[in-house]
Copies of this chain bind each other. A is one copy, B any other.
Amino acid sequence: MQNAPSREILEKIFRTAYRIRVFETEGIKLYRQGLIRGYFHPYLGQEGIATGVCAALNEGDYVASTHRGHGHCIAWGADVKRMVAELLQKETGYCRGYGGSMHIADIHRGNLGANGIVGAGTPLGVGAALAAQIRGSDAVTVTFSTDGASNNGTFLESLNLAAIWNLNFILVIENNQYAVSTRIEESTRDVDLYKRGTSIGVESHQVDGNDPLAVYRLTQEAAEKCRAGKGPILIEAKTFRHMGHHVNDPGKYMPEDRLAYYKARDPVDRARNALVEICGAPQAEIDAIEGEIAAEFSDAVEFARNSREITAAEFRQFVADY
């Protein structure tokens, strides 16, 4: 394998991927228990992308995300406690319970947030890149986007703005080949979405989204190019969901053989294997990491459960300002 990342990076990648896996798997249970309301779009199966991308970014960079945003949020280093608290609509949550799953943001740390509007993260991300340019900063902004969003006008308009202004912007299209139940083949004649970037003069790549290391390397290169003034860059990462669109979607329309194909290329397994194979991490160490992350999630649930909700008085004060 060409220039493997450092052990530190590999461990970070595995930890992040696994943390997302646990968050989603356990989060779904909380949802099924009725503790979480509204929409919950699991990131299961796509962990490799957020994980690889964020590992390649620096502090001071920005990310913008989608309705399927837990993974990006975690990979960007969010506090799982505050995430769970948000899902449980508690005052300690990232949005104090005002936002929920589709709106978790951490603006103080450069996470512009999940978004309930498909495609909206792209202009917002380009805007953050523009703000960086105005400030004279070399910060890079990544927008995580989707195959569905690539058919939306915001894709063309905002990527084109990033291009003519040479912004430090990376558009990561997570092509999981479905928009709810609609297959990508029904939504476009050319499923290779990166070509749309090329057509407007944007350097564009395709990568196996289930390979966190490949994603990491490509993003690292892209970020370097951006900081050297050669942005924006588009990365199409092919992937597949492990389940339906949201928790309540059985996803029966997903062919079993394709699901099996992608599950055999599970990004969390790959991250774990990399740590084992490249760095020779012993099983005990893997177990320890996994145990630690599982405990972290339990603690987060405990924390969230013990947190309070916004009071009527606090709410009235909030409203008064509108």
List the interface of chain A (C-beta within 8 A of B).
151-157, 160, 163-164, 186-190, 195-196, 198-202
Evaluate contact between A157 and B164: CB separation under 8 angstroms. no
Closest to A160 in B: B151
Q: Which residues from B are CB-within-8-Å of A201?
A: 188-190
Give the docked Cα–Cα distance between A192 and B201 (Å).
Answer: 10
Chain B: minimal CB distance from A120 (Å)? 12
B contact residues around A157 at 8 Å (CB): 151-153
How far does the alpha carbon of A186 sit from the alpha carbon of B163 in the complex, in Å?
A: 10
B contact residues around A164 at 8 Å (CB): 186-189
Question: What residue of chain B has the Cβ atom nearest to residue A158's Cβ?
Answer: B153
Which chain B residues border A196 with CB–CB below 8 Å? 156, 196, 199-200
A235 → chain B closest CB, angstroms = 16
Give, as a whole number of angstroms, the nearest-CB distance from A130 to chain B.
16
A190–B195 alpha-carbon span in the complex (Å): 13
In the complex, A153 Cα to B188 Cα: how many Å?
Answer: 16
Question: Are A190 and B200 within 8 A (Cβ)?
Answer: yes
Considering the complex, give the chain B residue whose CB is closest to the CB of A163: B189
Q: How far is the CA of A163 from the CA of B187 in the complex (A)?
A: 9
Question: CB distance A199 to B202 under 8 Å?
Answer: no
